[in-house]
Amino acid sequence: MNARSFFKLFIYLVNWIKVSLIAFPFSLALISLKKPNTATIVDENGNIIQQGGQLVLKYGYDFFVIDYNWAIMIALGIGLALNTWHALSFEELGNFDLKQYLKVRQRYRITHSEMLSSEQVEKKLRNLETENPFWKLSSLKNGFTLYVKNKFGFRDVVQLQPGDGGYIVQSKPRFWLDFIDMGRNLKNVQFISKYLKVETPK
């Protein structure tokens, strides 16, 4: 395993833990849903189905006690599924800087052989807005803001600000709860970079 692969594995594991922690309250609520507060509950055949705050399920000749440990297992499973999907989406994008791996907030430094004026950049972005209805431009004093949407509404915010001999482009989800983006924001900065003939990651 080379250094790049090891680093990506480390980031993958850290992100898996993060996603699992976020999923844990939801899995805990799912496990606790409609759980009675009675200490012991039996069914019509006299079998105990809840005891001491735990659910007891009978399957064949075995009994399984379901407690809050299941919430941890479910959260880890959800985290594994979402994080793997997230990682595979990044792999589909091909070569990228390791600093960008699995991040939902992306940052690029846009450079050009001839520094584009604010008017030139705005003209190109206006053309983009006309060509692609999923991009909406909002002009600011010190830069530009683009809202990227899909059929469900606006999802990402892309900002361009002059700096470092070019433009700094940043892309992030519009909503802070959007902690998994399947590489959307990396695609956004790569797309804007190519559209403005910009190639240097920061």
161-202 pLDDT, tens digit per residue, is 887 677 889 999 988 777 888 889 999 998 998 888 744 444
Q: What pLDDT shows up at residue 199?
A: 45
Q: Which residue has the higher pLDDT, 68 or 54?
A: 68
The one-letter amino acid code at 157 reads V
Confidence of residue 155 (pLDDT cuts 50, 70, 90): confident
Question: Pick from 89, 84, 110: which is nearest to 16 by CA?
Answer: 84
| Integer angstrom CA distances of residue 191 from 88, 135, 166, 168, 175 | 19, 12, 16, 14, 21
Domain ranges of the chain: 3-92, 103-195
Average pLDDT score, the chain: 78
Average pLDDT, integer, range 102-110 = 87
Q: Which residue has the higher pLDDT, 49 or 145?
A: 145
Q: Is 103-195 CATH 3.30.310?
A: yes
Question: Pick from 133, 187, 176, 189: which is nearest to 22 by CA?
Answer: 176
The pair phi, psi for residue 75, each rounded to 5°, is: -60, -40
**Maximum Cα–Cα distance across the chain:** 82
Q: Which two tokens stand for residue 6?
A: 């090891």
Model confidence pLDDT, tens digit, residues 115-138: 677 788 888 889 998 898 889 888
